[in-house]
Amino acid sequence: MDLTGQAIIVSGSSSGIGEEVARRFAALGAGIVVNSASSVEAGERIAGELPDAVYVRGDVGDPATAAALIGAAEGRWGRLDGVVNNAGVTCEVPLTDIAAVTAEHWDKILRTNVVGTFLLSQAALPLLREAPDGWITNITSLAGVRQTGSSLPYAVSKAALDHLTTIMAKHAGGGVRVNAVAPGLVATPWTEDWDAMKEGVTAIAPLHRVATAADIAEAVVALVGIRYATGQTLVVDGGLGLVI
């Protein structure tokens, strides 16, 4: 895949899955808008290491961030070809502990994971419709299709993203493709201390390991390359969903 001259926004790309996705697309020739809500030093470092990139700080749950990200792409390259909605948050509340879930948990998680994804996608559509092959890829989760995950609000937010993916695919217009990649457990800085969960997944998943950020980035790039697919969620979980 040759993406020379194209421009891609990757939200939440200062570490983990987002960083790996940004690096993969940059290696294919694309210009990248790197983004994070708080990890400014890491975001600026990654943007500086890529051949052609710009860093924009902003929380995707803030409507102003979508405008800033789109403006950065248009100002730098005069176009936008793709968006990877990777930014996300969670809270670590066991699914069984329904009583511990608060309104603040819901507000924070839905604002970032669902509303933020929508706002960036909404703002990007006008430019994506002008691109020869515009696309949006949402990073959802196995938690959106199985009764698992780091918390109930997180799981529900990812299920909502899967549905948002299908609705936007149907109505985006302009030939814009909208798909999603749903990882299982991934070894990233976010899950650095989840040793027991990693051991459990390794023991029961058919592929007997947790995913790496590179595994998920590979899936994102591959799905973008399937140019007659839209409205699809590709589960990349090592088969974990088959046994839970």
Q: What are phi and psi of 118, to 5 degrees?
A: -65, -45
What is the chain's percent helix, strand, coil content, to nearest 5? 50, 15, 35
Q: What are phi and psi of 44, to 5 degrees?
A: -65, -35
**Gap between the Cα atoms of 209 and 144, Å rounded:** 20
Out of 30, 151, 154, 155, which one is annotated catalytic?
Answer: 154
Query: In residues, how long is the chain?
Result: 244
Q: Residue 182 pairs with which residues in a beta bridge? A: 235
Q: How far is C-alpha 203 from the chain's CA centre?
A: 27
Question: Does residue 154 have an active-site annotation?
Answer: yes
**Gap between the Cα atoms of 206 and 181, Å rounded:** 19
Q: Residue 211 pairs with which residues in a beta bridge? A: 186
**Gap between the Cα atoms of 230 and 222, Å rounded:** 13
Nearest of 222, 18, 28, 20 to residue 135 by alpha carbon: 222
Q: Residue 139 pairs with which residues in a beta bridge? A: 181
Supply the residues annotated as catalytic. Answer: 154
